[in-house]
C-alpha cells in the first residue's frame, strides 16, 4: 500500500515537472521577438466535430430575438462582462455560429496609417501564436476606437501587452489595443468610433513603438486584414460575414463551458424598482432597459420584463 502511494506521488511529481518544462519552453519561445509571420492567413482547425451541438448558432438564429439587429453584443456575450482577461468566454470555434454578419458601417481606422506601417502580421510565430497585427508608429500618436462600444479592460501588463485596452463593440466584435504609452479611457466608458482612447507607445514586451491590434469574436481572434484594408484605411465591406473555419481559430479556447442563454422574464411586484430587479438577476439596469427597449426607468406593477 505504502509503495503504491510512493509510486503514485512519483508519477505526479514527474508529470508536474514535465508541465513546468513545457511552460518554460513556451516562455522561451514567446520571448523571441519580432519574428515576421510567414503567412497571414489562418490555417483551418481540422479536428472540430461537425455535429457538435451548436448553442451559439441556435441563440444567434432565433427569430424572436430581434434585439440582435440593433445591438448584438449583449446577446452574443451572454452577460459575461469581465475585466479580468481578454477571453473570459472560453468558447471554442466549434461552438461558434457557422457564419456571423458584422455591421462594420461605423468603422474608424485605429491610427493614422500615413505615420505607420505594418511591422508584423497575424498568425503563427514559431510555437506561439500572434493574435494581432503589429503596426509600427511613433510614440504619442492618437489611437482611436475602431467602432462604437464600451471599454471592457484597461490594464497594464509589464511583460506582455504593456498598457492595453479592450473594447466590446455594439456590433459584436471586440478589439484590443496594446503597448500604449497612455490609455485615455476607463473601464465601462462608452466610446464612439473614432474617439481617442489612448496614445501609442512602447510599453510591455515591445522592441519599438508600435500598436498591437487584435480583432476578436467571442474571444477568438482573427486576422484584422480580413476585415480592414490597412492601405485604404477602410473596411472591405460595410457588412462583413465571418465564417467558421475561416476567420475563427480555436487556439484561444482550450477549455470552455457552454452556457445556454435563455430569455428570462420577471413580473414586476409592488415596491420594486429596476435597480432591485437588476440586482436580483445579477444584471444591470442598463441591460434590462436595453432588453426591453425602455427609454426611461418607469415600470408598472404586473409588467413583464425581460431580465436575461
Ligand atoms: Zn503584436
CA 291 to ligand 1 center in whole angstroms = 36
Q: Which residues contact 59 (CB under 8 A, 6 or more apart)?
A: 65, 75, 260, 261
Contact 157, 83 (CB under 8 A): no
CA 130 to ligand 1 center in whole angstroms = 6
User: Do 132 and 193 fall within a single domain?
Assistant: yes
Can you tell me the distance from the alpha carbon of 133 to that of 119, in angstroms, rounded to the nearest whole number?
Answer: 8
pLDDT: which is higher, 247 or 198: 198
pLDDT band at 3; cut points 50, 70, 90: low
CA 209 to ligand 1 center in whole angstroms = 11
CA 95 to ligand 1 center in whole angstroms = 27
CA 155 to ligand 1 center in whole angstroms = 16
Residue-level pLDDT at 284:
87
**Residue 73 maps to a domain:** no
**Residue 37 maps to a domain:** yes
**Residue 169 maps to a domain:** yes
Identify the residue whose cell numbers are 445556454. Answer: 260
State the Cα angle at 8 between 4 and 9, rounded to 5°.
Answer: 120
**Residue 82 maps to a domain:** no
Residue-level pLDDT at 23:
40
**Distance from CA of residue 177 to its chain's centroid?**
11
Mean pLDDT of 241-270: 62
The dihedral region occupied by 293, where left means phi > 0, alpha psi between -120 and 50, and beta the remainder, is left
CA 274 to ligand 1 center in whole angstroms = 43
CATH number where 270 lies = 3.10.350.10
pLDDT at residue 33 greater than cutoff 60: no
**Residue 212 maps to a domain:** yes
**Distance from CA of residue 20 to its chain's centroid?**
28
CA 88 to ligand 1 center in whole angstroms = 20
Task: Count how many residues are written for the chain.
Answer: 308
**Residue 202 maps to a domain:** yes
User: Do 272 and 244 fall within a single domain?
Assistant: no
Ion ligand 1 contact residues with beta carbon within 5 A = 132, 134, 212
Residue-level pLDDT at 5:
53
User: Do 248 and 114 fall within a single domain?
Assistant: yes
User: Do 269 and 219 fall within a single domain?
Assistant: no
pTM of the model: 0.61
User: Do 251 and 275 fall within a single domain?
Assistant: no
Identify the residue whose cell numbers are 475585466. Answer: 83
**Residue 176 maps to a domain:** yes
CA 214 to ligand 1 center in whole angstroms = 8
Give the tens place of pLDDT for each residue, 80-136. Answer: 888 888 888 777 666 777 788 899 999 999 999 999 999 999 887 766 788 899 999
- Write a three-state SS string for 71-130: CHHHHHCCCCCCCCCCCCCCCCHHHCCCEEEEECCCCCCCCCHHHCEEEECCEEECCEEE
CA 253 to ligand 1 center in whole angstroms = 19
User: Do 11 and 140 fall within a single domain?
Assistant: no
User: Do 181 and 102 fall within a single domain?
Assistant: yes
Residue-level pLDDT at 295:
86
CA 212 to ligand 1 center in whole angstroms = 4
CA 134 to ligand 1 center in whole angstroms = 5
User: Do 233 and 299 fall within a single domain?
Assistant: no
Percent of the chain with pLDDT over 90: 44
Total domain count, the chain = 3
Q: The domain containing residue 219 runs over which residues?
A: 93-257
Q: Which helix (H) or strand (E) holds 22?
A: helix 2-30
User: Do 102 and 25 fall within a single domain?
Assistant: no
Can you tell me the distance from the alpha carbon of 121 to that of 16, in angstroms, rounded to the nearest whole number?
Answer: 34
Identify the residue whose cell numbers are 477549455. Answer: 255
> Residue 182 CB: number of other CB atoms within 10 A?
13
172 is written with which cell numbers?
459584436
User: Do 243 and 100 fall within a single domain?
Assistant: yes
Out of 219, 240, 257, a domain closes at: 257
Give the tens place of pLDDT for each residue, 102-117. Answer: 999 999 999 999 999 9
257 is written with which cell numbers?
463551458
Average pLDDT, the chain: 76
CA 186 to ligand 1 center in whole angstroms = 22
User: Do 172 and 272 fall within a single domain?
Assistant: no
CATH number where 182 lies = 2.70.70.10
Give the tens place of pLDDT for each residue, 144-162. Answer: 999 999 999 999 999 899 9
User: Do 239 and 300 fall within a single domain?
Assistant: no
CA 44 to ligand 1 center in whole angstroms = 21
CA 63 to ligand 1 center in whole angstroms = 39
Amino acid at each position: 500500500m505504502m509503495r503504491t502511494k510512493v509510486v503514485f506521488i512519483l508519477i505526479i511529481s514527474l508529470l508536474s515537472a514535465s508541465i513546468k518544462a513545457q511552460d518554460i519552453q513556451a516562455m522561451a519561445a514567446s520571448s523571441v521577438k519580432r519574428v515576421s509571420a510567414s503567412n497571414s492567413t489562418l490555417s483551418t482547425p481540422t479536428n472540430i466535430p461537425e455535429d457538435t451541438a451548436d448553442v451559439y448558432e441556435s441563440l444567434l438564429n432565433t427569430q424572436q430575438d430581434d434585439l440582435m439587429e440593433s445591438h448584438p453584443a449583449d446577446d452574443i456575450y451572454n452577460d459575461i462582462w469581465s475585466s479580468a482577461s481578454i477571453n473570459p468566454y472560453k468558447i471554442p470555434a466549434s461552438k461558434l455560429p457557422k457564419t456571423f454578419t458584422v455591421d462594420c458601417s461605423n468603422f474608424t481606422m485605429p491610427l493614422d496609417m500615413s505615420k505607420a506601417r505594418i511591422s508584423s502580421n497575424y498568425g503563427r510565430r514559431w510555437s506561439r501564436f500572434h493574435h494581432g497585427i503589429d503596426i509600427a508608429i511613433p510614440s504619442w500618436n492618437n489611437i482611436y476606437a475602431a467602432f462604437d462600444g464600451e471599454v471592457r479592460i484597461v490594464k497594464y501588463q509589464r511583460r506582455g501587452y504593456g498598457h492595453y485596452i479592450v473594447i466590446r463593440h455594439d456590433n459584436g466584435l471586440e478589439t484590443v489595443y496594446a503597448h500604449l504609452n497612455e490609455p485615455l479611457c476607463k473601464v465601462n466608458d462608452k466610446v464612439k468610433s473614432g474617439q481617442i482612447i489612448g496614445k501609442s507607445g512602447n510599453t510591455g514586451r515591445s522592441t519599438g513603438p508600435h500598436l498591437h491590434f487584435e480583432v476578436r469574436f467571442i474571444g477568438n481572434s482573427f486576422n484584422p486584414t480580413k476585415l480592414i484594408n490597412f492601405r485604404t484605411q477602410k473596411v472591405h465591406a460595410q457588412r462583413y460575414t465571418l465564417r467558421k473555419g475561416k476567420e475563427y481559430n480555436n487556439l484561444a479556447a482550450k477549455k470552455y463551458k457552454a452556457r445556454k442563454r435563455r430569455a428570462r422574464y420577471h413580473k414586476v411586484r409592488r415596491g420594486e424598482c429596476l435597480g432591485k430587479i437588476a440586482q436580483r438577476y445579477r444584471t444591470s439596469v442598463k441591460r434590462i432597459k436595453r432588453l426591453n427597449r425602455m427609454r426611461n426607468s418607469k415600470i408598472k406593477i404586473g409588467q413583464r420584463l425581460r431580465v436575461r
